[in-house]
């Protein structure tokens, strides 16, 4: 437990901000505040406690921790002679982390209720404290910008890993199946040659297999029952041609667009003894071509995902302002969120006007804005899903971008403070309250405006950017 110490004017001389103050100011500080001693490792500040005291470290130090996913991560340390806690004109109301004593620690504590009196006693000290607060806020914002980028990257990378895993697994499966089929190819070819088919029949066989390289999107869709019936019908026909494994051959031949009707003219040119070998070779060939196509499509999917990440991060650009098609950045960001959108069963609408103008902007920071706004919109939607609309159009001589969700909405008392730094409705330790402040500052640095409107069932964040 903290132990209160007797007043000691000499103790305050170790505080950098208190040095060279008039004796009457030091006397006021001693009589108004208090000295408290803490043992090594003792908890000084708890997450969620009211931020109601200025704390100056007379001896020892304080280590601050911030909760993240149930873990307490070290954030910063306050050394001897430094000041922490709430300061004059600070908007901080709730402690967002916890502070622990480092070594035998003595703190000078001054209640924030005494700040008005401090302004009368020593305007000079108030100016020093405001300067400390400004430096601290600037460092906090810079650190939070880095943390927000890392947090967004963590969320997006989890979805991206899932998206990459699907085509990667498809490639692995197709490669294994392709390897097994290629091993059997020589045996199938030998069996076909031993049957001595006519040259004309072999040529027809080769030409029949060629269309299997094309996507079968033109094939009429089948229900599961219709598919099963078609497989049974083809398998029965293959059995009638002497194939001992008709049910094994039917699925791949059917996928390649073959039926008994398409195969009948082909086998008519073959002697009965050659038909099983010919049909087995044909099934193997169209399967190899189909697997090759599957490999190509899966690898293209990976290339598309990598392209989305590249466009999102703009890793191939210098990072300065350039003339941008903002819809490309919106699309890249939405594509990166694709897994989260599907996971929440969100209905997404992209409404981009064909005459949406380009803007002179820095791509990376703007994508951070879209990330923050989309992430908030997704959080606002219920787990069962909802609708999300992203609009971009010419507006007031510039570009207007709107992100609209049909979540529960934002209460008026919250909306009034939404863009204030450190304001958050999330539990202590889960939100910094700087995401929307950072987004608004990025937009303002581009000469634009960021606004929010909300009623139950509709929340809209609107960004306006000048074209030049």
Per-residue pLDDT at 239 = 87
Structure-model confidence comparison of residues 403 and 177, the more confident one: 403
Q: How many CA atoms lie within 13 A of 277 on its CB side?
A: 20
Per-residue pLDDT at 226 = 81
Name every residue whose Cβ is closer than 8 Å to that of residue 282 and which is 6 or more positions away in sequence. 205, 208, 209, 253, 266
Condensed to tens digits (0 to 9), the pLDDT of residues 6-38 reads 988 888 988 999 999 999 999 999 999 999 999
* Third-level CATH fold of 3-121: Jelly Rolls (2.60.120)
Question: Most confidently modeled of 70-79, 91-100, 186-195, 395-404?
Answer: 395-404
User: How would residue 391 be classed by pLDDT, with cut points 50, 70 and 90?
Assistant: very high
Question: If residue 25 lies in a helix (H) or strand (E), which one and from where to where?
Answer: helix 23-32
Q: At residue 82, does pLDDT exceed 80?
A: yes
Residue range 266-289: mean pLDDT, rounded: 84
What DSSP letter does each residue of 153-180 carry, written as one string?
HHHHHHHHHHHHHHHHHHHHHHHHHHHH
Percent of all residues in the chain with a pLDDT value above 90, rounded to a whole number: 28
Question: Most confidently modeled of 108-117, 171-180, 280-289, 308-317?
Answer: 108-117
Q: Which residue ranges make up each domain of the chain?
A: 3-121, 159-306, 317-466
Residue range 364-382: mean pLDDT, rounded: 86
- What the block records as the tokens of 170 is 């498809």
Q: At residue 179, does pLDDT exceed 70?
A: yes
Choose the weakest-confidence range: 45-49, 141-145, 233-237: 141-145
Q: At residue 448, does pLDDT exceed 90?
A: yes
Per-residue pLDDT at 215 = 43
Q: At residue 148, does pLDDT exceed 70?
A: no
Per-residue pLDDT at 32 = 94
| CA angle, 35 then 94 then 64, to 5° | 60
Q: At residue 313, does pLDDT exceed 80?
A: no
Q: What long-range pairs does 66-74 form, CB within 8 A, spacing at least 24?
A: 66/96, 66/97, 66/429, 67/97, 67/428, 67/429, 67/430, 68/429, 72/98
Q: Are 336 and 310 in contact (CB under 8 A)?
A: no
User: How would residue 160 be classed by pLDDT, with cut points 50, 70 and 90?
Assistant: low
- What the block records as the tokens of 125 is 């000290």
Residue range 396-408: mean pLDDT, rounded: 92
Structure-model confidence comparison of residues 386 and 69, the more confident one: 386
Per-residue pLDDT at 70 = 59
Question: Most confidently modeled of 104-118, 184-198, 332-346?
Answer: 104-118
What is the rounded distance in angstroms from the CA atom of residue 281 to the CA atom of residue 151?
53
Averaged pLDDT of the chain = 82
Per-residue pLDDT at 394 = 93
Choose the weakest-confidence range: 92-101, 296-305, 407-416: 296-305
Q: At residue 208, does pLDDT exceed 80?
A: no
Q: At residue 53, does pLDDT exceed 90?
A: yes
CATH placement of domain 317-466: 3.30.565.10
């Amino acid at each position: 437990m903290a132990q209160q110490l007797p007043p000691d004017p000499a103790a305050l001389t170790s505080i950098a901000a208190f040095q060279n103050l008039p004796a009457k100011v030091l006397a006021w500080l001693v009589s108004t505040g208090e000295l408290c001693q803490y043992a090594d490792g003792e908890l000084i500040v708890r997450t969620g406690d009211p931020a109601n005291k200025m704390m100056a470290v007379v001896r020892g130090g304080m280590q601050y921790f911030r909760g993240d996913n149930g873990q307490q991560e070290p954030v910063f340390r306050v050394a001897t002679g430094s000041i922490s806690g709430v300061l004059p004109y600070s908007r901080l109301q709730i402690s967002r982390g916890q502070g622990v004593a480092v070594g035998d620690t003595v703190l000078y504590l001054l209640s924030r209720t005494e700040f008005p009196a401090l302004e009368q006693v020593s305007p000079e000290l108030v100016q020093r404290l405001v300067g400390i607060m400004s430096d601290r806020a600037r460092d906090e914002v810079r650190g939070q910008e880095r943390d927000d980028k890392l947090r967004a990257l963590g969320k997006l990378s989890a979805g991206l890993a899932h998206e990459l895993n699907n085509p990667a697994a498809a490639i692995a499966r197709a490669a294994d199946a392709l390897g097994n089929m290629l091993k059997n190819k020589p045996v199938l070819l030998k069996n076909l040659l031993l049957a001595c088919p006519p040259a004309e029949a072999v040529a027809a066989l080769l030409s029949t297999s060629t269309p299997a390289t094309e996507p079968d999107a033109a094939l009429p869709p089948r229900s599961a029952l219709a598919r099963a019936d078609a497989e049974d019908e083809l398998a029965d026909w293959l059995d009638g041609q002497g194939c001992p494994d008709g049910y094994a051959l039917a699925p791949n031949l059917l996928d390649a667009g073959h039926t008994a009707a398409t195969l009948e003219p082909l086998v008519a040119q073959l002697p009965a003894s050659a038909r099983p070998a010919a049909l087995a070779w044909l099934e193997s060939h169209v399967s190899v071509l189909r697997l090759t196509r599957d490999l190509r499509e899966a690898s293209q999917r990976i290339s598309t995902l990598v392209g989305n990440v590249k466009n999102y991060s703009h890793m191939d650009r210098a990072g300065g302002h350039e003339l941008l098609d903002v819809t490309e950045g919106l699309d890249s960001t939405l594509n990166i969120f694709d897994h989260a959108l599907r996971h929440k069963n969100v209905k997404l609408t992209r409404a981009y006007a064909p005459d949406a103008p380009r803007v002179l902007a820095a791509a990376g920071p703007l994508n951070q804005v879209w990330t923050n706004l989309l992430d908030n919109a997704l959080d606002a939607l219920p787990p069962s899903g909802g609708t999300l609309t992203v609009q971009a159009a010419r507006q007031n001589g510039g570009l207007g971008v709107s992100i609209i969700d049909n979540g529960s909405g934002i209460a008026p008392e919250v909306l009034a403070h939404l863009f204030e730094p450190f304001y958050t409705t999330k539990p202590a330790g889960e939100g910094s309250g700087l995401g929307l402040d950072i987004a608004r500052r990025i937009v303002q640095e581009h000469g634009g405006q960021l606004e929010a409107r909300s009623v139950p069932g509709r929340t809209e964040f609107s960004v306006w950017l000048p074209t030049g």
